């Protein structure tokens, strides 16, 4: 299946789905549930499949084939444990099954089951039924081990927010639902630790619509042509199918411009937020749970819709909800835009890529939130892009840094010869270049004007690293622990690892302070991001 996007002039965009369709994945799920190794651990238990994901964490020198590896994640309520099954689609008999005490994030269905248990409560249930209390997805989404009674592992407990209607006299509250014992957990102060549920709230009402589950299929081959010449060729992956421990928003893979390789992978594997005085959180957030947005247009693949007009998110409308889950694609001037909205509890995050006909790439990330108490407090968002540059080839790339005035000597540009963490320095107009050593072809990364500077929690602004297969992200799942919620990228830095004439990866961070009380009317959030511009192309 393919479709053309009318962009004006002689520019055309073609979209072709790749990889297994939903029906194929449903069959794969059925097979893994029936596998003897899985049945040995889960047979006769009360359990739920939380995610079935296709895993693609390797590099490719060409346009990569659809993923062949998978990971299925179950929760076994009977034994209060997570069970994962991993294998390859073309070798269904070979399955590796493990049990652990980790707590995966809830799915749409699991949260709905938790709400039903609250609805059955004789005290709170009637208020939900008659509309005096509205359930919503809060932060944190789960009860963590350090909040459980006694010692040992916490029984799986999904948190449910209960927001009173305007004419209700009931208090705002967040309750826990113990999914193992089918009972409610009430918290002192009406909210779990590192959260807040008071009368004062900020943000527009949440729509409470279903969201995408992790592993929902969605990978597409996108080509942009002008006058018969191919400008862009890439694989676009929807957030629900993106890679990494907690997803990574819209993910671009095997990106080429005018027939030359630019990036093997570009995505946002790390996202976190910290509040002043730790009023709530901090939170290490996730980037796979797509939120609904209004997109009118043509579906050219599951979860991929082409629009004739710019797609609007909560940043533009100030409203939650819509008719579409996935990636919207549209043309705006000389740019082809891919955009999706995600949620993590009450947060709304916008993942966006803007591809200009001249080869410029503008990664963008937006921050907003729906009605909650925590977001009234000043908080600081930190977003971390990972750019696995392969200018022409994976090897023979280098990273250079521009400073004006120069750090030493007369040359504004200097080569970073070893792995390092760098800070933004506006007084020196600092920017970076990744280029092929032999040809000089490359991309200049210029910080955005609103990208901020890292504080102690944000850690850094840029890391120039050597590519290693195990460093797709820092391996941290959702947490409220301050030390673990921080980006753990410094541990990838070795002052003796060369990055001159090598396979290089650049992590770039942007930092945004959200002060809802100090924002002007009609300001529903903010957007940050750098510019990547080609040179000598």
Q: With left for phi above 0 and alpha for psi between -120 and 50, is residue 338 left, alpha or beta?
A: beta
In angstroms, the CA 492 to CA 502 distance is 16
CA dihedral 113, 37, 70, 509 (to 10 degrees): 70
Q: Hey, is 31 helix, strand or coil?
A: helix
293 burial class (0-12, 13-18, 19+ CB within 10 angstroms)? buried
Q: What is the mean pLDDT of residues 120-137?
A: 97
| Domain residue ranges of the chain, discontinuous segments joined by + | 20-100, 108-190, 219-286+358-535
Lowest mean pLDDT among 2-6, 366-370, 472-476: 2-6
Class of domain 20-100: alpha beta
442 within 8 A of 536, measured Cβ to Cβ: yes
Tokens of 297: 């247009």
pLDDT digits (tens, 9 = 90+) for 436-463: 999 999 999 999 999 999 999 999 999 9
Residue 14's pLDDT band (cuts 50, 70, 90): very high
What confidence score (pLDDT) does residue 147 get?
A: 62
Residue 371 has pLDDT above 70, yes or no: yes
Tokens of 377: 């407090």
Backbone angles phi, psi at 110, to 5 degrees: -70, -40
Q: What is the mean pLDDT of residues 496-518?
A: 93
Nearest to 118 by CA among 101, 148, 96, 138: 138
pTM: 0.95
287 within 8 A of 268, measured Cβ to Cβ: yes
Residue 525's pLDDT band (cuts 50, 70, 90): confident
324 within 8 A of 212, measured Cβ to Cβ: no
Mean pLDDT, the chain, rounded, equals 94
What is the CB-side half-sphere exposure of residue 367 using CA atoms within 13 A?
Answer: 23
Do 20-100 and 219-286+358-535 fold alike per CATH?
no
Q: Which residue has the higher pLDDT, 151 or 489?
A: 489
Q: What is the mean pLDDT of residues 492-503?
A: 95
pLDDT > 70 in the chain, percent: 96
Residue 324's pLDDT band (cuts 50, 70, 90): very high
522 burial class (0-12, 13-18, 19+ CB within 10 angstroms)? exposed
Q: What is the mean pLDDT of residues 188-195?
A: 96
Architecture in CATH of 219-286+358-535:
Distorted Sandwich (2.70)
pLDDT > 90 in the chain, percent: 87
In angstroms, the CA 537 to CA 122 distance is 68
pLDDT digits (tens, 9 = 90+) for 207-239: 999 999 999 999 999 999 998 899 999 999 999
DSSP 143-211: --GGGSSSSSPPPPEEEEEEEEPTT--SPPEEEEEETTTTEEE--GGGS-TT----S--BSPPP-----
The C-alpha R_g of the chain, in whole angstroms, comes to: 23
């Amino acid at each position: 299946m393919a479709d053309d996007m009318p962009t004006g002039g002689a520019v055309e965009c073609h979209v072709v789905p790749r990889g297994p369709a939903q029906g194929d994945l449903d069959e794969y799920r059925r097979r893994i549930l029936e596998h003897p190794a899985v049945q040995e651990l889960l047979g006769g238990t009360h359990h739920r499949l939380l995610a079935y994901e296709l895993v693609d964490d390797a590099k490719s020198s060409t346009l990569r084939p659809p993923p062949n590896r998978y990971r299925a994640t179950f929760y076994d309520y009977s034994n209060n444990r997570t069970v994962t099954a991993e294998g390859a689609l073309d070798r269904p008999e070979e399955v590796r099954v493990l049990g652990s005490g980790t707590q995966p994030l809830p799915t749409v269905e699991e949260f709905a089951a938790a709400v039903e248990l609250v609805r059955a409560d004789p005290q709170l249930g009637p208020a939900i039924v008659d509309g005096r209390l509205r359930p919503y997805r809060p932060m944190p989404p789960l009860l963590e081990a350090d909040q459980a009674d006694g010692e040992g592992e916490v029984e799986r407990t999904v948190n449910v927010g209960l927001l009173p209607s305007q004419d209700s006299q009931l208090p705002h509250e967040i309750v826990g639902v113990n999914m193992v014992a089918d009972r409610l957990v009430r918290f002192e102060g009406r909210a779990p630790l590192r959260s807040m549920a008071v009368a004062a709230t900020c943000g527009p009402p949440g729509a409470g619509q279903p969201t995408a589950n992790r592993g929902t299929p969605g990978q597409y081959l996108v080509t942009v042509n002008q006058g018969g010449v191919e400008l862009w060729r890439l694989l676009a992956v929807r957030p629900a199918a993106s890679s990494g421990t907690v997803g990574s928003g819209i993910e671009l893979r095997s990106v080429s411009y005018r027939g030359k390789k630019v990036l093997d992978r570009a995505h946002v594997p790390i996202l976190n937020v910290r509040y002043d005085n730790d009023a709530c959180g901090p939170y290490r957030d996730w980037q796979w749970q797509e939120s609904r947005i209004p997109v009118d247009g043509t579906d050219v693949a599951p979860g991929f819709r082409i629009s004739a007009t710019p797609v609007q998110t909560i940043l533009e409308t100030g409203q939650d909800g819509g008719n579409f889950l996935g990636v919207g694609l549209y043309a705006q001037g000389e740019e082809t835009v891919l955009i999706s909205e995600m949620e993590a509890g009450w947060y709304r995050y916008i993942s966006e890529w803007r591809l200009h006909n001249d080869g410029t790439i503008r990664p963008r990330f937006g921050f907003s939130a729906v009605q909650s108490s925590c977001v009234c407090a000043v908080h600081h968002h930190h977003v971390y892009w990972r750019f696995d540059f392969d200018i022409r080839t994976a090897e023979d790339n280098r990273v250079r840094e521009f400073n004006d005035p120069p750090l030493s000597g007369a040359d504004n540009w200097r080569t970073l010869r070893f792995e390092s963490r760098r800070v933004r320095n506006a007084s020196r107009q600092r920017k970076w270049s990744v280029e092929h050593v032999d040809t000089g072809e490359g991309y200049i990364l210029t910080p955005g004007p609103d990208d901020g500077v890292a504080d102690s929690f944000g850690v850094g602004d840029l890391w120039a690293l050597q590519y290693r297969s195990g460093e797709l992200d820092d391996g941290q799942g959702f947490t409220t622990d301050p030390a673990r919620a921080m980006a753990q990228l410094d541990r990838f830095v070795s002052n003796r690892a060369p990055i001159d004439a090598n396979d290089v990866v650049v992590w770039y961070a942007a930092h945004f302070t959200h002060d809802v009380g100090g924002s002007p009317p009609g300001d529903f959030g903010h957007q940050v991001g750098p510019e990547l511009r080609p040179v000598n192309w």
